[in-house]
Structure 1
Amino acid sequence: MSSAGSPSVSAAQRLQMTLDFCKLPLLVVARLFSPANKGRSWARAINDSMVRFMTTRRWEIHTFTSLFWPTGSTYVKWARKSKLEVLSDDVGAGGKLHWVGPRRYDRVLLYFHGGGYSLPVNDQTQLGLLLALQRELEKSGGAGIAFLEYSLTPDYPFPTQLNQANAAISHLLEKGLSPSKLILSGDSAGGNLVFQVFSHTLHPFPSAPAPPTLSAPYGGALLISPWVTFDATTPSFAENDKKDVLSSAFYSFLAEQVTSGLPSGARVYAEPYTADAAWWDGLDGVVARVFATAGEVECPRDAIVELLSGPIKARVPDTTVVVEKNGVHEDVLNAFASGEGEKSVEYWMMVKWATEVFDK
């Protein structure tokens, strides 16, 4: 992690960060032996313990973001380190597409990164996964892999990110890409953004640019622990509060950054779990198939499974929901952070699923 040196962090918050980091070694070691890490390798246990430590600090949001480089800077540094060409497209609405590997417009996986809409992309987790996918898909015809750099909340509230996702999709379709050869993908808030795109296509949000006209449904949606609810009262929040890498309180903290700027009538777009079943009527004309993961011990598990296995699967029959045994929020990404991503069963399920989508 590298500090971007955000000037918005107060002196008091910087002092609090310093004091908290002094506690880091002791608290991480203590958590290594907690039941939450039973059965995990040392590398994975250390990674998950550090994530838990970071997300249980009582910092304000700009203090968190000060620990990271902005998405664009992270991409450039990571691409050069990975010996990849730096390829970026301005797509309008303030968004950018960054390519992981070569540009191509015949088959594309478009990725929206997570972080509660408040945190930038992570090179070890999200970019590590995308590079592995790009290299693996290359063995079976290949695909362009691109991810969206979107503006962050709370400084840029809804529908900013929806507008930028809309612009990115339009950019790709204008290059000749068929919707049937486009996979929309994302983790956590990125999965939420995929649902925003679907909602906007079915029910255009009045103050947002019109959604693209689709000549065919999108080829698929690949969702990793999608953030579908801001409500922390479903049973899995209480059941997994001490087991997940993110506490129930941290999910609520991130939700506050989003909901504080929501305009009237926007809640159903930003929080797909609140939509009634009829909201999703016609979804089979928007996306052909869906693959989603949820961690067995992640807090939002119940809401993810209920939404995807219920109203979504009822309208898109080719929907697969995988509950990862002993998995935390974004379990496959945490595996990549600890160098174990390609050992993940769920990772290979994603590769197989994406390959099948592109080959249809």
Structure 2
Amino acid sequence: MLAYCKKHELPLQTELIPEGMGAKIHWLGDRSLQKCKVILYFHGTFYWKPLRQDVKITPSFVTKDHQKMIRNRLTVVRPIQFVVRCSKVLQDKGERAVIAFVEYGLTPENRYPTQYLQAVRALNYVLQKDYQPADLILGGDSAGGNICLAIMSLALHAANDTLSQPTLPSPLAGVFLICPWVSFQSSSSSYRDNAAIDIVLAPQMHHWAEAFLPVALAASQRLDDSVIHNLVEPVSAETAWWKGFPAQQVLMVGGDKEVFRDDIKELGKKLAGASVTTSTVICENQIHIECILDAQYGDTPGKMSVTIWDWLARLVS
């Protein structure tokens, strides 16, 4: 991240989040601005992938043929390029904008509920910086989308003494979810349809789910506690769970060639059924986090990228 910011002459400040168990916020942009929009962003890659660019993950069950087919895109994922482009969309609409990029604890060293605790404290910390909820846009991809939904759930429902609620006196400006990880199950038809196409595989997903929420914990806590279940697998929550969703607008995008497709569509229906102002867009011929990969590899932006940028532009119009 430091190298990227230096190359593009982008101001960068890094802060430890108070009581954040080592979590950090990387501030990108001019923080001296008196009035601005803040994109509070949570990166994805299944709670496992570090932000370091020199660390690679290629699980043993990812075959060589599959790696070749997806152009080895599992090796390194860097969402920063795409998130910076999102902030520029706001600036092009005349809005001052900064990015608060959260670096949270990763598995296997950090497991549930560490990431949710850090996320709530990150949100509260940003709001303590005199930014108003109406100026805050929450975003995340994959597991980062799971974190965003957990924050919203905790704002609506008290979980337990361990998981504190975020301090939200009024709704956020918006939430955008890029291919959010909303289920630990792989029974939907999109897993079968896209097994040979997407960068996510069912065994891979289960591997990371187990690293985040071990079976022992799942048996003792998750399945016996509907609040915990709805936090970690938001698609399992009933429609009524989402009533009062504390954001003015929600965008959820997915690819029609990704294994999460059907789960994303199902959650979109539930949010809409709860009267949440939601737009769920399944992008044709797009795989998991295609927009981030396009930005990272310098590809022509596809429908997923354009959909998010158009939504951000309308959000501040």
Given the two structures, how large is their TM-score scaled by the length of structure 1?
Answer: 0.73
Structure with max Cα Rg:
1
Deviation (angstroms), 1:338: 2.0
Task: State the match for 1:294 in structure 2.
Answer: 254
2:36 paired with 1:106: yes
Deviation (angstroms), 1:90: 1.8
Q: Residue deviations 1:120-178, cap 9 Å, x none? A: 23766401101222233222222111210000022111111111111111111112211
What pairs with 1:234-313 in structure 2 (closer than 5 Å)? 234-260=188-214, 264=221, 265=225, 266-283=228-245, 286-308=246-268, 310-313=269-272
Q: Residue deviations 1:34-57, cap 9 Å, x none? A: xxxxxxxxxxxxxxxxxxxxxxxx
Read off the aligned partner of 1:319 and give its amino acid letter.
T
Unaligned runs of 5+ in 1: 1-74
* Segment drifting more, 325-334 vs 95-104: 95-104
Cα separation, partners in 2 of 1:226 and 1:122, compared to 1, 3 Å: farther
Contact map agreement 2:284 2:303 (CA 8 A) in 1: no
Q: State how far apart, in whole Å, the 1-side matches of 2:159 and 2:276 are.
A: 26
Contact map agreement 1:106 1:176 (CA 8 A) in 2: no
Q: Structure with the greater relative contact order (CA < 8 A, sep ≥ 6): 1 or 2?
A: 2
Q: State how far apart, in whole Å, the 2-side matches of 1:136 and 1:79 are.
A: 18
Contact map agreement 1:181 1:358 (CA 8 A) in 2: no
Q: Residue deviations 1:51-75, cap 9 Å, x none? A: xxxxxxxxxxxxxxxxxxxxxxxx2
Give 3-state SS (helix, strand or coil) of 1:87's partner.
Answer: strand
Report the RMSD for the aligned CA atoms in angstroms. 1.9
Task: State the match for 2:155 in structure 1.
Answer: 201
Read off the aligned partner of 2:9 and give its amino acid letter.
K
Task: Say which structure is richer in helix.
Answer: 1
Contact map agreement 2:184 2:209 (CA 8 A) in 1: yes
Cα separation, partners in 2 of 1:81 and 1:220, compared to 1, 3 Å: same
Identity percentage of aligned residues: 30
2:24 paired with 1:96: yes
Unaligned runs of 5+ in 2: 54-76
Deviation (angstroms), 1:192: 0.3
Read off the aligned partner of 1:270 and give its amino acid letter.
V
Give 3-state SS (helix, strand or coil) of 2:205's partner.
Answer: helix
Q: State how far apart, in whole Å, the 2-side matches of 1:210 and 1:252 are.
A: 27
Task: State the match for 1:84 in structure 2.
Answer: 10
Task: State the match for 2:62 in structure 1.
Answer: none
Task: State the match for 2:311 in structure 1.
Answer: 353
Q: What is the aligned residue count? A: 281
Task: State the match for 2:51 in structure 1.
Answer: 121
Given the two structures, how large is their TM-score scaled by the length of structure 2?
Answer: 0.83
Deviation (angstroms), 1:238: 1.0
Q: Residue deviations 1:264-310, cap 9 Å, x none? A: 13232111112222222322xx11111111110101100111111x1
Q: State how far apart, in whole Å, the 1-side matches of 2:175 and 2:137 are.
A: 6
Q: Residue deviations 1:242-274, cap 9 Å, x none? A: 111222221122111112155613232111112
Read off the aligned partner of 1:126 and give its amino acid letter.
P
Contact map agreement 1:101 1:134 (CA 8 A) in 2: no
Give 3-state SS (helix, strand or coil) of 1:334's partner.
Answer: helix
Deviation (angstroms), 1:214: 2.2
